[in-house]
Chains A and B, each alone.
Chain A
Amino acid sequence: MSESRKWLLAAGLVALAVWLSLAIGGQWINPFVPTSELDERILWELRWPRLVIAFAVGGMLALAGAWFQVLLGNALAEPYVLGVAGSAAVGAVSSLMLFPGSGLGMSAGAFIGAWIGIAAVLSFSYLGPARLLLAGIVLAAFWGALLALLLALLPEQRLGLALSWMMGDLSTSPIHEGGLLFVWGVALACGLALSRSLDAMLLGEMHATALGVDVRRLRIRLLFLASAVTAVAVTAAGTIGFVGLIVPHLMRLLFGSLHRVVLPASAVGGGVLLMLADTGARSMISPAELPVGVITALIGVPVFLWLLLRRA
């Protein structure tokens, strides 16, 4: 398939996904011909903002995943690998403990927690990729233990709220959907500006240096950028697994490894994937909802295993 036809196909798929996500739900509504005022309000006040949130969060997670994979020189890295999700969850649950009943408090706690996690990782940024990864994994385990402790101490009636946050929840976002889309755009632009250096990093740090890349500076920038984007995504939607791991891989399989292609493809592909997953999550057992993280994990695990087997 030629390059331009691939992109045309991709654009068609995005449009189809948007249309489906608007149409599917507790009741089927064709976005082009809404039959009542209620339908219009469901479409544009409920489904559309939620779809935008899902798109932006999915895109950000996929971008962060692509960056972490290059930064750590490890194709199996994902946005939460360095413990940012864990520290965000600790922040959210702490806030739930101290200020029960405040949804905004949980988000603020998550955001602060994410940045504490980032600061902890940044202090190890001078380590080489392999040891940075190890440090991140150990930190993640630490946050996990802390989270388990907090959950054990949490009053039982608030446990459900904590768990649903931890599995990802796109129904409301403390950050306006326009703001999320803006962060998505800025992140993609920053990534594209670094794409040439990122490509050189695919050859390893020594080759990248010999090709004129200031590797130390690039690593700090990448670590900061990827972590900041992860923090925003986690704050908006809780922790949603596998999007950040799977999407960059799929895009590399489809479009090759060069970042001026992989990054925009991931930003869009991750968005579409999460949009569809969320449509499934809110429709399958409507009027109740499944946590979207359940859907992404149910799709993500088999795809991931398939990728692993393919590589072996």
Chain B
Amino acid sequence: MSLLSAHKLEVKRGENTLLSGLDFSLQPGRILVVLGPNGVGKSSLLLALAGILPIQGEVLLSGKALKQYPRPDLAREIAWQGSLPPTEFGLSVDQRLNLAMDNGLVVGGEDELRRCCKALDVASLRTRMLGELSTGERQRVELAAVMLRDVPIWLLDEPTAHLDLRHQVAWLSIMRSQADAGRGILVVLHDVQQAFSVADDVVLLHGGGRVSFGAKGALLVPEVLEDLYGTRLLQLQGGDGQGVLVPAYEGGGDEAA
């Protein structure tokens, strides 16, 4: 049975209908990547699935309507990562992480905390204040907080944003191993290459209400992506024999010609 499935899902923000008629399903052990240009409702889709924005259409969570879940029960099924929390009130990294554990009912205790901090390379930051950290470090703290939430579904909104290359690579491999352990992960990405490397299934939001859902092989192809982003893509041959898609940057001098 799928963890999360949607039928004719519609997401609004205020009076604005961002997307409608979306069907998809998220299976345990699989990574579903959401791609689309700015402003088509990728983040709003995640907020709606996390119960933060109102939702229309049918969404089933483990076979039961999402709307029927009381708020605390929903938090036991779904973890959400999105905007960085404010630094206004002087939380330390440790306190921030403990908030994820308290309310998400993950009881792995100190061992689990240490393991997640090590995985995200934030062990040395634990006594620091959130406000003293760089944006990339704060992002890693958020990812550690998600990792502490031992729930079946992760909704991740651009988890690799702000991260340096090494930590981007590390996070992609963490997502893979977490999915292999049975979690269902729905993740918004902007980097086509990262999508290639982790996706099992793909949702494309084209804007203007157009949506598509399918397997990676069918949707992550140059023609579809060129149409999605409205930009030309070049297929290069990578060193390991795999194809690499890069945008065709124009006006960049002789080589572009």
A contacts, CB < 8 Å to B: 69-70, 73-75, 196, 199-200, 202-204, 206-207, 209-214, 252-253, 256-258
Confirm or deny: B215 has a beta carbon within 8 angstroms of a beta carbon on chain A: no
Confirm or deny: B99 has a beta carbon within 8 angstroms of a beta carbon on chain A: yes
Known contacts A202-B91, A204-B86, A256-B95: A209-B103 contact under CB 8 Å: no
Measured CB to CB, the nearest residue on chain A to B102 is A196
Bound Cα distance A256, B91 (Å): 7
18 new A-B contacts, CB < 8 A, other than A69-B89, A211-B100, are A70-B89, A73-B88, A202-B99, A203-B99, A209-B51, A209-B71, A211-B103, A211-B104, A212-B73, A212-B76, A212-B103, A213-B103, A252-B89, A256-B90, A256-B92, A256-B95, A257-B91, A258-B95
**Chain B contact residues: helix, strand, loop or mixed:** mixed
Residues of A within 8 A of B51 (CB): 209-210
Confirm or deny: B72 has a beta carbon within 8 angstroms of a beta carbon on chain A: yes
Q: Please state if B92 and A196 are interface contacts (CB–CB under 8 Å).
A: no
B contacts, CB < 8 Å to A: 47, 50-52, 71-76, 78-80, 82-83, 85-86, 88-92, 95-96, 99-100, 102-104
**Chain A contact residues: helix, strand, loop or mixed:** loop
Residues of B within 8 A of A209 (CB): 50-52, 71
Residues of A within 8 A of B99 (CB): 199-200, 202-203, 211
Residues of B within 8 A of A75 (CB): 88-89
Residues of B within 8 A of A214 (CB): 71
Q: Please state if B103 and A252 are interface contacts (CB–CB under 8 Å).
A: no
CB-contact partner of A211 in B73, B75, B90, B95, under 8 A: B75
Residues of A within 8 A of B86 (CB): 73, 202-204
Residues of B within 8 A of A204 (CB): 83, 85-86
Residues of A within 8 A of B75 (CB): 210-212
Q: Please state if B82 and A206 are interface contacts (CB–CB under 8 Å).
A: yes
